[in-house]
Amino acid sequence: MAFEDSLAFAQSLDKEDPLAHMRQAFHIPRIKYSTEEEVYFCGNSLGLQPKLTSEYLNAELSKWQKLGVKGHFDCEFPWMPYHEFLADESAKLVGAHPSEVVCMNSLTANLHFMMVSFYRPSSKRYKILLEDHAFPSDHYAVESQVRFHGYDPSEAMVLLKPRDGEECLHLEDILSTIDQHADELALIMLPGVQYYTGQVFDMQAITDAAQHHDITVGFDLAHAAGNIEMQLHDWGVDFAAWCTYKYLNSGPGSVAGCFVHEKHHDNPELPRFAGWWGHDKNSRFEMENEFIPIQSAEGWQLSNPPILSLAAIRASLDTIKEAGGIAALRNKSKQLTAYLRFLLHNRLAAHIDIITPDDGLSGCQLSICVNSDNKTGKQVFAAIEAAGVTCDWRAPNVIRVAPVPLYNSYEDCIRFVDILEASL
């Protein structure tokens, strides 16, 4: 499609957008001291609240009020199996079987629990491959696991670095590093989408390379779940974890998601940190002390999850289902992000760099570096925020903007570029 840089053209795209009605399914924040809606481009950090959320939360509060402990069993959506009601739609988002996914814990906690099972270092194979510029929490988790097993992080952590003068990693460099360290690697742990640059990693190619060398592979999908299409089961990924409060719109600090490939479900030799909620459901209430894990991803659960948080996730998953699922979201996202990229290049090419790669290697997020003799990137960020844009800043020099297909419009893109241009 040939894009045009005009409000009328953007509005024409919104009229033709089959997902335009989904904006009405969300609460859009208003500019301070105004009735005008913000340009909210921060779904990569915290997604907006679906209108279903309060309905679903209030239902559980009412249930607790009226039924007390009986809410675990004798009602619609009982609490005892509540996490099971999220499995089908969660599985569709990441390309998995329902038995391979579960909502539990927080993202970094899930990564730790997965590494308990899947980082099994030996005297020969003890290294973990990750990015040099990984999200800090991932780096901390890997480093602490390495130290826990008695290894020196400077020896046991293989860090992928971009080429000189570049921000993004090349797939061939990742694969060559895997080949180079194949005999030493016990685990590969990388993101599905890089948090700083917005680069989408080729998870299938990375997994294929790992399997060729018999290396376990896991992914942090914090910026991928609800953003891009994936096929974790078919690719043979060993494990993955993601948060649900970004593109999955389930509220700040909401319960995370986890994937464990079915090939590991009935492996009695696989170690894990066990808890009551991961015990076989048929004998759980016999209260015996021999742990029998559920033969699914549920077997990695520890405690019963917070139902109010799961209710918010269910509201979000039902909203995504109403939109047609991840394929429909991705179809709009490609065009919406392409339009924003076009506007930025058309007007501001001399003043900004978009470090997020093109050619299918990006999701919703575009990461912008400001090149201006008059203002720093941080000053520009402050100016657009004051003018009614919500996005976020990541040191040392990136403004991250994310037009989310569920609730953002093409007109939002025009408004954002107007404000950015005026701020520059």
For 201-226, the DSSP string reads P-HHHHHHHHHHTT-EEEEE-TTTTT
- Quote the CA–CA distance of 344 and 371 in Å, as a whole number: 13
Query: For residue 54, how many other CB atoms are within 10 A of its CB?
Result: 14
The one-character DSSP state at 192 is: S
Per-residue pLDDT at 324 = 98
User: How far from the centroid of its chain's Cα atoms is residue 266's Cα?
Assistant: 27
The secondary structure element, H or E, covering residue 258 is strand 257-260
Compute the average pLDDT of residues 267-289. Answer: 93
- The architecture in CATH of the region 58-322 reads 3-Layer(aba) Sandwich (3.40)
Angle at which helix 87-94 crosses helix 307-323, to 10 degrees, equals 60
- Quote the CA–CA distance of 396 and 192 in Å, as a whole number: 22
**Residue 128 backbone zone (phi > 0: left; psi -120 to 50: alpha; other: beta):** beta
pLDDT digits (tens, 9 = 90+) for 86-139: 999 999 999 999 999 999 999 999 999 999 999 999 999 999 999 999 999 999
- Quote the CA–CA distance of 221 and 212 in Å, as a whole number: 23
- pLDDT class of 337 with cuts at 50, 70, 90: very high
CA distances from 422 to 174, 380, 381, 393, 419 (A): 40, 10, 12, 18, 5
Residue 354 bridge partners (DSSP): 368
Average per-residue pLDDT in the chain? 96
Tokens matching residue 378? 């941080």
Predicted TM-score (pTM) of the model is: 0.96
Burial class (CB in 10 A: 0-12, 13-18, 19+), 185: buried
User: How far from the centroid of its chain's Cα atoms is residue 323's Cα?
Assistant: 18
Compute the average pLDDT of residues 330-350. Answer: 97
List the single range of 40-44, 231-235, 310-314, 355-359 with lowest mean pLDDT: 355-359
Compute the average pLDDT of residues 335-345. Answer: 97
Share of the chain above pLDDT 90, in %: 95
- pLDDT class of 268 with cuts at 50, 70, 90: confident
In the predicted structure, residue 395 carries a pLDDT above the cut 90: no
Per-residue pLDDT at 368 = 97
Length of the chain equals: 424
- Quote the CA–CA distance of 420 and 53 in Å, as a whole number: 32
Higher pLDDT, 166 or 374: 166
Of the candidates 32, 17, 19, 42, which has an alpha carbon nearest to the alpha carbon of residue 249?
A: 42
Per-residue pLDDT at 396 = 87
Question: Is domain 7-37+325-423 annotated with CATH 1.20.950.20?
Answer: no
- Quote the CA–CA distance of 233 and 225 in Å, as a whole number: 14
Of the candidates 343, 365, 379, which has an alpha carbon nearest to the alpha carbon of residue 191?
A: 365
Compute the average pLDDT of residues 306-332. Answer: 98
In terms of C-beta distances under 8 Å and separation of at least 24 residues, what long-range contacts does 73-80 make, across chains too? 77/314, 79/304, 79/307
Answer for the pair 257, 103: CB distance below 8 angstroms, yes or no: yes
pLDDT digits (tens, 9 = 90+) for 221-264: 999 999 999 999 999 999 999 999 999 999 999 999 999 999 99
- Quote the CA–CA distance of 268 and 251 in Å, as a whole number: 36
- pLDDT class of 309 with cuts at 50, 70, 90: very high
- Quote the CA–CA distance of 344 and 414 in Å, as a whole number: 10
Domain boundaries of the chain, sorted by first residue: 7-37+325-423, 58-322
In the predicted structure, residue 360 carries a pLDDT above the cut 90: no
For the four alpha carbons of 265, 270, 276 and 277, in that order, the dihedral sign comes to negative
Tokens matching residue 143? 């480093």
Cis peptide leading into residue 396 (ω within 30°): yes
CA-CA-CA-CA dihedral for 34, 39, 42, 46, to nearest 10 = 50
- pLDDT class of 76 with cuts at 50, 70, 90: very high
- pLDDT class of 397 with cuts at 50, 70, 90: confident
Angle, CA of 117, 178 and 167, to the nearest 5°: 105
The secondary structure element, H or E, covering residue 370 is strand 366-370
